[in-house]
Amino acid sequence: MNTEKLTFKSLENNDIFKLINVTRKGIDYKTFNEFTVSYPLNISTWSKILNMSERTIQRYKREKKRLDSIHTEKLLLIMLLFNKGVSVFGSTSNFLTWINSKSIPLGGVKPIDLLDNSFGINMVKDELIKIEHGVLA
């Protein structure tokens, strides 16, 4: 089994056992912070996405704690989605522009507003796959 350190940029869907093990262990705050620096959304947005209060996020930082498995799993799904988005759009800035813009195929809402649950994450992922394959309608 692969036990190398997780970095969000190297994270791939095909590392299922690695994803399972990281979910069980929990992501450390340092990895979470590296991710949030690369995808600069405000703490309020991260709080909404992770269904976690801003105070709890700050406590994880202060106490250098690992995120629990529920939050780790959601964060891993978001990391995979963001990596896919950058791949599809060619740059972080292009992806961030798209994810923060209203999308007609997603019901006229911003993709970022759908990331607070797994159904929304899957909708956004499906839309990225359609864009990747040139299916725009």
DSSP string for residues in the chain: ---PPP-GGG--TT-HHHHHHHHHH--BHHHHHHHHHHS---HHHHHHHHT--HHHHHHHHHHTPBPPHHHHHHHHHHHHHHHHHHHHHSSHHHHHHHHTS-BGGGTTB-GGGGTTSHHHHHHHHHHHHHHHTT---
Range(s) of the domain holding residue 125: 12-132
pLDDT (0 to 100) of residue 4: 43
- Tell me, yes or no, whether 61 lies in a domain: yes
- Tell me, yes or no, whether 90 lies in a domain: yes
- Tell me, yes or no, whether 3 lies in a domain: no
pLDDT (0 to 100) of residue 12: 66
Number of domains in the chain: 1
Q: Report the mean per-residue pLDDT for the chain.
A: 89
pTM here?
0.86
- Tell me, yes or no, whether 18 lies in a domain: yes
- Tell me, yes or no, whether 6 lies in a domain: no
- Tell me, yes or no, whether 2 lies in a domain: no
- Tell me, yes or no, whether 4 lies in a domain: no
Q: How do residues 90-129 score in pLDDT, each as one tens digit?
A: 999 999 999 999 999 999 999 999 999 999 999 999 999 9
- Tell me, yes or no, whether 137 lies in a domain: no
